[in-house]
Amino acid sequence: MSTLTTSTSPAFLAADVGGTHVRVGLLQQGQDDNAPLSMLAYRQYRCADYPSLSAILAEFPVNRSTLSACVIATAGYALPDGTVITANLPWPLSSNRIRQDLGFEAVHLVNDFEAVAHAAAHISASQVLQLTGPADAPRGPTLVIGPGTGLGAAVWIPVGNRSVVLATEAGQASLAATTELEMAVLQQMLRDRSHVSIEQALSGPGLLNLYNALCAVRGTAPTHATPDAVSAAACDGSDPLAVETLQLFCGILGSTIGDMALLYGVQGGIYLAGGILPKISQFLLNSSFVERFLNKGPMTKALQSIPVKLVEHGQLGVIGAASWYLGRRETDPGAPPSAVTQVHAAARPCMDSNPAAAGQHAGLHQ
């Protein structure tokens, strides 16, 4: 069981709650500018194996009597009483209930992709896969986006020596089609809905939507019933329709992210996160993603100056939640204990299954 080793910087719990997994870390503010966070312990749990988030946090190996605060990164709709409405968790989530169950003085909630933005804006080069653009970029607005159960997106914005993060509902904007095939697929999807959002194509369920619509366009009966089956068949090349579907997915992803870069004035870089993209990284590298990202007419040259990187760090949500909490503690120490920032509509799964050993340092850089 982890114990605290210093009184100068109290440790606290940070959790990243996804639709499939919950990641929990015991963290402490670091003494070194090159490592402003220290990860003292880390575990990953399956949501379905526990009756509540309180049960998961109670199992985490730490003496809770030494802790006063917990910060939770999650998706869903937050009510004023600290309850989070979400369709993708197997149990209710309430900051007040967790505080009562476990005796914390304060339990804070933060948007999951807002948390990821706080981490990804500072992550080291060794933890990313470069897709396009220069290795470095000037300090400026940075987009973090990732398809999982839904499509999360947030923008990290530097303000002097500090930063703010804009949590967005980008996944709910209307899907835009560019090629004739995309137009045909979009028309097929519009047959049973009046609005096709971006995340209805760029997410796990969205990949399956694209596959079913493409099968209808091609006049072929679907043979895959899950997003994982589609992506697996595409990556091993065993099903031409699955390959075409994933190509469609990657092309739409590139075009959409290019649009968002222009809409949000991105200059500092783009980080691709979420549970899906690390699994298809090689397919993504060989797809039309970069071509479609840059295909913005006269703005192509501007987009060429923006680094686009795939984040392969499974602890981002935990580290980001902790970073958000420390920044908030410095700027607003009197905030109420269950304060809630904007939380987007769909919870996302956390698919990385590699737990880190206790005592690992979180190498975030300002």
pLDDT band for position 39 (50/70/90)? Answer: confident
Calculate the alpha carbon distances from 332 to 25, 327, 366 in Å: 23, 8, 20
Distance CA 181, CA 199 (A): 18
pLDDT tens, residue by residue, 95-116:
999 999 999 999 999 888 888 8
The mean of the pLDDT values for the chain is 85
Q: What pLDDT does 332 receive?
A: 58
Q: What pLDDT does 197 receive?
A: 96
Q: What pLDDT does 364 receive?
A: 34
Distance CA 275, CA 303 (A): 25
Across the strands, what pairs with 156?
Answer: 142, 165
Q: Is the pLDDT of residue 36 over 80?
A: no
pLDDT band for position 65 (50/70/90)? Answer: confident
Between 46-50, 114-118, 276-280, 338-342, the lowest mean confidence (pLDDT) is in 338-342
pLDDT band for position 328 (50/70/90)? Answer: confident
pLDDT band for position 329 (50/70/90)? Answer: confident
The structure's pTM equals 0.78
pLDDT band for position 352 (50/70/90)? Answer: very low
Q: What pLDDT does 169 receive?
A: 86
As given in the structure block, the two tokens for residue 134 are: 């220069």
Q: What pLDDT does 315 receive?
A: 83
Q: Compute how many other C-beta atoms are within 10 angstroms of the C-beta atom of residue 216.
A: 16
Between 82-91, 207-216, 317-326, 345-354, the lowest mean confidence (pLDDT) is in 345-354
Q: What pLDDT does 313 receive?
A: 65
Q: What pLDDT does 218 receive?
A: 97
Q: What pLDDT does 1 receive?
A: 52
Q: What pLDDT does 345 receive?
A: 37
- 76-80, 116-120, 156-160 — most confident range: 156-160
